[in-house]
Amino acid sequence: MSGMTPIEAVKARMEATFARWTRDTTLAEMRADFDASLGGAEAPPCRDVEVAGMPGAWFGPEAGQGAPAILYVHGGGYQVGSIRSHRGLMHRLATAADLPLLAFDYRLAPEHRFPAALDDCAAAWRWLLAQGAAPGRVAIAGDSAGAALALATMLRAKREGAPLPGAAALLSPWLDLEAKGESLTSRAGLDPMTPREKLLVMARLYLGREGDPRDPLASPIHGDFAGLPPTVVHVGDHEAILSDSETFAERARAAGVEVTLEVWPEMIHHFQIFPDLPEAERSLARIGEFLRARIS
């Protein structure tokens, strides 16, 4: 798009995608459009695998028994997103970290409401350990709703007395289904990805009428973070949900967790998924370095 900066072009592209979605657009069409918009240009090599009965894929180097690896949970507001939409991002993170990365397609709402997606993430974590992975040599990572699921997976594992990973990476985490963060006001209009009204609709579809948006396994901003592994958080300064990252970092540090928070100027929600942004490559390089240093 001539005359635009890279981030302006990304915003325009995503605004055009969302503008195509009307009341007549089916959920299946939205999912296909989302996959094509985010993942269509990149088709990196991967190795298909079944993960606890779910479609999965390995990216990056070959995974050896007991060797370090990343378990990645894709985002998409719990309603859209897949290995296909995030395959470029996952490949680039695996390359940046020089670590094998395992992805999987968990169940989506509204067909499968909370806690179905979390059940699937917990199953994927157990499956990976059953393959011989050493928990302290595995990092769990995710973006947006996937980052919330990654965090909730750790909270659930801690609650159940299960092993925890050795590190975590949260990319633009959406952690508060009540959407109460201050940045939803101060950054309103800057980020086409996460306006408050859209967040509340997605939260309602995920939780259903009886769901509690303050349940720490649904909105992990309310979790008990004591004992969690070293965690890196990267978020854009123009994100409407910037406050989720800032609040998490403050609360987790108060609980004794090592947290590295980086706020990227002018960047929008899960900016790392856009390969044409120079900031995306730099962010993934820093995240990869963080994870490699803690689990290799």
Active-site residue (options: 74, 91, 238, 269) = 269
Per the annotation, the verdict on 296 as an active-site residue is: no
- The catalytically annotated residue of 85, 144, 245, 283 is 144
Amino acid at 138: V
Catalytic annotation present for 144: yes
Tell me how long the chain is. Answer: 296
List the catalytic residue out of 172, 183, 234, 239.
239
The two structure tokens encoding residue 291 = 């994870």
Is the four-CA dihedral 274, 275, 281, 286 of positive or negative sign? Answer: positive
**Residue 239 annotated among the catalytic residues of the structure:** yes
Amino acid letter, residue 159: R
Catalytic residues: 144, 239, 269
